[in-house]
Structure 1
Amino acid sequence: MAPMLETKYVFTITAKIGDVVTAGETGVGVRRIIPIAGGEVAGAISGKVLPFGADFQTIRPNELIDLEARYAFETNDGATVYVENKGMRFGPVELLQKLKRGEPVDPKLIYFRTIPKFETGHQSYRWLMQHIFVASAARHADRVVIDVHQVI
């Protein structure tokens, strides 16, 4: 029998976001690019989200949103960690449309889950590359809050 899967909360990434750029309907959905403009990391790791990168989204006709964000953060002790975060966001169409307009929506009503992968050459944070992580996220008008959990 395989080991049971469990998770433990590790840290939260709060990514400030810029204005949405839309490339339009591409045949598989509407392509959107959302710049990442900074932010913070708090929890077992503390630091700041660096002001570059973006979330590349495809919005399917039923409002199912495929996400792929690429960015980096710098820890308080000087390590740079590259993040590639793929996932999905889904919920009632009227609530997702409110989010698109920047209106507040209770995050509990939207399914927003991701699988972040991390890369770094800093020895103190190599453990980020040696584990699988899952995250629960919430979209707000000016930021995305991502609670990262380690699969143990």
Structure 2
Amino acid sequence: MEPALATRYVFTITAHIAGVTSAGQLGFGERRIIPITGGEVRGREINGKVLGFGADFQIVRPDSSIELEAKYAIETDDGAVIYVENRGIRCGPSELIQKLNRGEAVDPALIYFRTVPRFETGADKYRWLMQSLFVASAARHESRVVIDVHQVL
């Protein structure tokens, strides 16, 4: 019998973002940097805010799919600081990705956007975040990214 794999929803991160800065074409894609300017975290076990620093460092591949690597921090309502490093992939039909890149609305169900967040904290109450793996589904909106985080059981 194979071990079962399951997940449990834990919280949603809504990260507010600013405009895109491009470092240009690298030969294998375009390097883009998107500042993370704040936001909120809501869930059963964690509530707080996204701190107003950090960024999403992206590579836009020639096929329009995007490799993401976001680095930022959240502060819980009880004062703990949690570092977040979130890697992922966003892809979909080229015309829809181009609409997203222009800041236009696209139905999130039409875009594959999955990430693997990793957390670090010295706060005892939240050390369990460093003792599990997490996966997330995400949706890009005009000025924010909404990330639903699930713990792998």
| Same fold (TM > 0.5) | yes
1:28 aligns with 2:28: yes
2:79 corresponds to: 78
Hey, what's the Cα distance between the residues in 2 that align with 1:106 and 1:143? 14
- Which 5+ residue runs of structure 2 have no aligned equivalent? none
Q: Deviations over 1:61-94 (max 9, x none)?
A: 0011000000000000000000000000000000
SS at match of 2:3: coil
Residues 91-110 of structure 1: matches in 2 within 5 Å? 91-110=92-111
Q: Distance in 2 between matches of 1:60 and 1:145?
A: 22
- Sequence identity, in percent? 69
Give the whole-Å Cα distance in 1 for the aligned partners of 2:11 and 2:28: 34
What residue is the counterpart of 1:42 in the other structure?
42
Shift of residue 3, structure 1, vs aligned partner = 2.2
Partner residue, 1:60:
61
Could you tell me which amino acid in structure 2 is paired with residue 117 of structure 1?
Answer: R
Offset from partner CA, 1:72-129 (integer Å, 9 cap, x none) = 0000000000000000000000000000000000000000000000000000000000
Residue identity matched to 2:50: V
Q: CA RMSD in A?
A: 0.7
CA distance in structure 1 between the aligned counterparts of 2:8 and 2:138, rounded to whole angstroms: 15
What's the CA shift for 1:53?
0.3
- Normalised by the length of structure 1, the TM-score is 0.99
Question: Separation in 1 of the partners of 2:73 and 2:107?
Answer: 27
Q: Which residue of 2 aligns with 1:149?
A: 150
Match of 2:19 in 1: 19
Q: If the length of structure 2 is used for normalisation, what is the TM-score?
A: 0.98
Partner of 2:64: helix, strand, or coil?
Answer: coil
Once superposed, which parts of structure 1, at least 4 consecutive aligned residues long, lie more than 3 Å away?
A: none
Please name the residue that 1:112 is paired with: 113
